[in-house]
């Protein structure tokens, strides 16, 4: 009986060993496929910080710049979320005052579109420069990548004012190593059919053109975020 038991036991050991090997292999594969530290793509969070041009004055939420931009980027395969942090009537100083709560922790990048109301009110360009400079400095300190949406002064304000105002955007972008889209309303400003009755704010169709033209710059912004993440 003892010999018989020894024989049965010896036959069972290979089977147990085989099952153990299968279990080990399964565990190994699971660790490779579903490891404790998987590489998971993270949605890139972008805040569009601006005035009525980003808020979408006179438009529905889905027609506003942030929503149209997010939809266009997703169609191009980008996993992004664009937050609308536009406040109609805001000046550059107003945007700076609310920067910390408008751009929450976890934000990857900001599209900064401020200054149009400064210009329309004829504010001293030096004030606009200082506010935007401070905003860019604070965003840089938080390691948030920035795309500056440039503005241009209306011709009726004169060449001197225009020269001081228009130069703000490229000069600050260069100083803070930020990306720049030279004129946010390129192709839309002055086009009656692309603006609301006030001649200032884009229609949904006008916003679509803004999105179409700014997308290459936003994709460069996305690439910066990806490189910084590693």
Task: State residue 230's pLDDT score.
Answer: 87
pLDDT in tens, the chain (230 residues): 444 444 444 444 555 555 555 455 444 444 434 444 444 569 999 999 999 999 999 999 999 999 999 999 999 999 999 999 999 999 999 999 999 999 999 999 999 999 999 999 999 999 999 999 999 999 999 999 999 999 999 999 999 999 999 999 999 999 999 999 999 999 999 999 999 999 999 999 999 999 999 999 999 999 999 999 98
Which of the residues 51, 52, 102, 208 is marked catalytic?
Answer: 52
Q: Are residues 113 and 20 in the same domain?
A: no
Q: What is the CATH number of the domain that holds 98?
A: 3.40.50.1110
Q: Are residues 69 and 122 in the same domain?
A: yes
- In this structure, the number of other CB atoms found within 10 A of the CB of residue 97 comes to 14
How far apart, in whole angstroms, are the C-alpha atoms of residue 158 and residue 165?
A: 11
Q: Are residues 63 and 11 in the same domain?
A: no
Give 219's Cβ-side CA count (13 Å radius): 13
Residues 12 and 53 in one domain: no
Query: Phi and psi (nearest 5°) for 182?
Result: -50, -45
Q: What is the pLDDT of residue 36?
A: 44
| For helices 159-166 and 125-141, angle between their N-to-C axes, nearest 10 degrees | 0
Q: Are residues 122 and 222 in the same domain?
A: yes
The domain tally of the chain equals 2
Do 126 and 71 share a structural domain?
A: yes
- The answer to whether 92 touches 55, Cβ cutoff 8 Å, is no
Per DSSP, 61 falls in state: G
What's the pLDDT score for residue 16? 55
Separation between Cα atoms, residue 146 and residue 174, nearest integer Å: 11
Q: Quick one: 96 and 2 in the same domain?
A: no
Catalytic residue among 5, 10, 13, 198: 198
Q: Do 57 and 169 reside in the same domain of the chain?
A: yes
24 lies in the same domain as 58? no
pLDDT of residue 15: 55
**Same domain, residue pair 11 and 113:** no
- 88 given a catalytic annotation: no
Same domain assignment for residues 62 and 139: yes
| Active-site annotation holds for 176 | no
Whether residue 179 sits in one domain with residue 94: yes
Element (H, E) at 19: helix 2-33
Residue carrying the six token digits 């998987």:
38
Domain range for residue 19?
1-40
* Predicted pLDDT of residue 3: 45
Active-site residue, selected from the candidate residues 51, 118, 145, 201: 201
**62 flagged as catalytic:** no
């Amino acid at each position: 009986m003892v010999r018989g038991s020894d024989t049965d036991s010896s036959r069972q050991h290979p089977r147990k060993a085989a099952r153990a090997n299968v279990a080990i292999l399964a565990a190994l594969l699971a660790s490779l496929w579903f490891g404790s530290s998987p590489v998971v793509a993270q949605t890139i969070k972008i805040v569009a910080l601006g005035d009525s041009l980003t808020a979408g004055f006179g438009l529905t939420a889905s027609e506003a710049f942030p929503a149209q931009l997010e939809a266009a980027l997703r169609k191009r395969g980008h996993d992004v979320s664009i937050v609308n942090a536009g406040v109609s009537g805001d000046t550059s100083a107003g945007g700076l005052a609310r920067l910390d709560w408008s751009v929450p922790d976890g934000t990857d990048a900001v599209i900064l579109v401020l200054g149009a109301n400064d210009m329309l009110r004829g504010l001293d360009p030096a004030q606009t420069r200082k506010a935007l400079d401070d905003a860019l400095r604070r965003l840089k300190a938080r390691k948030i990548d920035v795309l500056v949406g440039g503005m241009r002064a209306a011709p009726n304000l004169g060449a001197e004012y225009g020269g001081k105002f228009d130069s703000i955007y490229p000069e600050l972008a260069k100083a803070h190593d930020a990306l720049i889209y030279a004129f946010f309303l390129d192709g839309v400003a002055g086009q009656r059919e692309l603006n609301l009755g006030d001649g200032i704010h884009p229609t949904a169709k006008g916003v679509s053109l803004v999105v179409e033209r700014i997308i290459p710059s936003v994709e460069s912004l996305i690439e910066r975020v990806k490189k910084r993440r590693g």
